[in-house]
Amino acid sequence: MTYDVIVVGGGHAGIEAALSCARMGQNTLMISILAEQVGATSCNPAVGGLAKGHLVRELDALGGEMGLLTDDAGIQFRILNITKGPAVRGSRAQIDMDRYRVIARNKILTTPNLSLIQETVTSLIIEEMTVVGVRTDLLNEYRAKRVIITTGTFLNGMIHIGEIRQEAGRFGEFSAKGLTHSLREAGLNVGRLKTGTCPRVDSSSIDFSVMEEQGGDEIPNPFSFRTDREKFAREKKQLPCYIAYTNEDTHTLIEGNFHRAPLFTGQIEGVGPRYCPSIEDKVNRFRDKDRHHLFIEPQTAENTECYINGMSTSLPPDVQRQMIHSVHGMENAKIVRYGYAIEYDYVDPTELRHTLETKKVKHLYLAGQINGTTGYEEAAAQGIMAGINAALSLQGKEPLVLRRDEAYIGVLIDDLVTKGTKEPYRMFTSRAEYRLLLREETADLRLGRYGHALGLISDAQMEQIETKRRQIDEGLALLEETIYTPNKEFLAFLESIDEERISDKLNGTQLVSRKSFELDKLVKLIPSFATLDPYIQEQILIEAKYARYVEKQSDDIERMSKMLHIAIPENFDFASVSGLSNEIVDKLGKFNPPTLQAASQISGMTPAALDILQIYIKMGLKKNKE
């Protein structure tokens, strides 16, 4: 009954936390309300998406499991925003949600140093503001040196379907009661959030022939760098999704039942996700739209049941049936599972350090939706970081805190612990100021060394990463060193590949940076590149095209790094700094940080505010010298 680490919860955060701890040599216990639901995908049957795909690739580079699980259970793979710049593209996969859950649970049950028990944690055991274990509904006590809570939507979970309310953490599953009281008793600030899910429909009752088919990429790309890309592309079988639309009848029906919608009647108190609204919220806010997209997504490889993505709702069952039947192609559709909204407790993430350990209770870590996030990917990313830092703490080693310029995971955690959130937080590429450096396909190059140092990435896998890095660097060096002149032979070559002539000599990097210069032209320009893996070719092209911008962002990062070491003079008048919000001025005055580094750790502090502050500090020093 005594362990190094206890992980409370078996969702995506719990899986990554438990596996990382166990793989780093810690005797770990996962406690889950239902053992067979470990790894369940509560909402949509998909992993990844815009910015979310970045998170999956990053945790994969650290040695996490989600990428491998997705590659195994995936039934369709697509790269979103493929026509846009590489920094804002995102990988997304439809998954067989039944298979995902089975292989995730099997991974938990077969990992050395890791045990699974089916119980419900009802309280924490805290001694002198240090967590030392947990108590369960079966009156068992489990002791541990570190505890990681990853409860998802289960803390005092309440489901809403029209006027019907049920205590549950997921439909048909008990909510976790009692643990919130422990958290509040420990002094943590607890709030209430809301999210929702869509109806599921019997696939045989849908007329797909009148819908738009949406297939996967012709050559599917795996999420994990540890997956054999060639074998994956050759053997992975993919299923199509379909696109349907709501219409005026759908919207009129929904409007006519606003008085029965828990979202509008005051029945739901929690704040919902602004960026993933329910269908009734969309109709209310965007009444000028004559239709909304619906994505009809298979839930398993057998495609016996479809998820109606875009129709998240908590309207009553009779309204949901009419809503579904109003959509062209689903006039005779049979609902298998109704959509619902769910409210749950969360902890204000400003209660956490960047390691995800709570500030008030020593050795207690939180990860996932309990920190105010929404989405499998955000949860998993926090889970692996909480697990890694709990294990490092036990080993007496320095924590791993990823910077904003190193990873989307760094952006995610920094946003949460410094700014907090009043609504379910979702990751976007726009949240990352250095997104050009944080492209999906560079995740292993950026973070693989951390996974290897932690023992989560093998020597062979690290060698694979280093080989990739070396080939890209050598390719870029060759472009930089190769000089082209506007002689007759080279001008004829440019004409043959449909490129504009040059009037002065330039190097390969300058030539390739042209918007019109594509991959096939690169291989013709440097024939030796033809022997490289297509992935390496593409990375050389991208790096060359964006060399100037990458250099500028790298300079900005270096400047920010130097800036954070600037000391703040004693008795500095923060109120005299024009451009700082009153809230930030109040916080700076309250904490009186000695350096800009210390100031950057204050909740709500932004890079722009730090930049303004350092300008005023330098102006003051210059004035004093005069």
How many C-beta atoms surround the C-beta of residue 299 within 10 A?
Answer: 25
Q: What is the pLDDT of residue 147?
A: 98
pLDDT of residue 560: 76
pLDDT, residue 433, reads: 85
pLDDT band, residue 626 (cuts 50/70/90): low
Over the stretch 113-153, which tens digit does the pLDDT of each residue have? Answer: 999 999 999 999 999 999 999 999 999 999 999 999 999 99
Percent of the chain with pLDDT over 70: 99
Q: How far is the C-alpha of 567 from the C-alpha of 99, rounded, in Å?
A: 54
CA–CA distance, 207 with 234 (Å, rounded to integer): 30
Q: What is the CATH number of domain 459-553?
A: 1.10.10.1800
Average the pLDDT over 44-64 and give the result: 97
- From residue 504, alpha-carbon distances to 518, 523, 535, 544 in Å are 21, 22, 31, 19
Structure confidence at residue 564 (pLDDT) = 81
Dump pLDDT digits (tens) for 187-210: 999 999 999 999 999 999 999 999
Report residue 624's pLDDT band, with 50, 70 and 90 as the boundaries.
low
Q: Is pTM, for the whole model, over 0.85?
A: yes
Q: Which H helix or E strand runs over 461?
A: helix 459-481
Q: What is the pLDDT of residue 399?
A: 97
Whole-number mean pLDDT of the chain?
93
CATH of 200-342, one of 3.40.50.12780, 3.40.50.620, 2.40.30.260, 2.40.30.170: 2.40.30.260
pLDDT, residue 539, reads 93
Domain 2-195+344-422: homologous superfamily in CATH? FAD/NAD(P)-binding domain (3.50.50.60)
pLDDT value of residue 570: 81
Q: Determine which helix (DSSP H) or strand (DSSP E) holds 334, and give its type and residue range.
A: none
Q: Sheet holding 340-347: strands in order across? A: 164-167, 158-161, 340-347, 190-197
- pLDDT of the residue at 606: 78
* pLDDT at residue 276, as a whole number: 79
Of the given ranges (156-170, 400-414, 533-547, 575-589), which has the lowest mean pLDDT?
Answer: 575-589
For residue 296, name the pLDDT band (cuts at 50, 70, 90).
Answer: very high
Please name the residue ranges forming H helices in 293-362.
317-325
Task: Map out the domains of the chain as residue ranges.
Answer: 2-195+344-422, 200-342, 459-553, 564-625
pLDDT value at position 148? Answer: 98
How far apart CA 445 and CA 104 sit, in angstroms, is 26
Tell me: the pLDDT tens digits for 523-579?
999 999 999 998 899 999 999 988 888 788 788 778 777 888 888 888 888 988 888
pLDDT of residue 226: 96
- Smallest Cα–Cα separation from 95: which of 245, 244, 222? 222
Candidate from 107-116, 256-265, 393-402 with smallest mean pLDDT: 256-265
- The fourth-level CATH superfamily of domain 564-625 is GidA associated domain, C-terminal subdomain (1.10.150.570)
Name the pLDDT band for 459 (thresholds 50, 70, 90): very high
Cα–Cα distance measured from residue 223 to residue 497, given in angstroms and rounded to the nearest whole number: 33
Specify the pLDDT at position 17: 98
pLDDT digit string (tens) for 219-254?
999 999 999 999 999 999 999 999 999 999 999 999
**Average pLDDT for 60-66:** 98
> Among 66-75, 207-216, 494-503, 593-602, which is the least confidently predicted range?
593-602
- In this prediction, residue 625 carries a pLDDT of 64
In this prediction, residues 43-69 reach a mean pLDDT of 97
- Asked whether the predicted pLDDT for residue 273 surpasses 90, the reply is no
Confidence check: pLDDT of 349 > 80: yes
- 600 confidence band (pLDDT: 50, 70, 90): confident
Distance CA 212, CA 54 (A): 28
Confidence band of 604 (pLDDT split at 50, 70, 90): confident
Given a contact cutoff of 8 angstroms between Cβ atoms, the answer to whether 459 and 448 are in contact is no
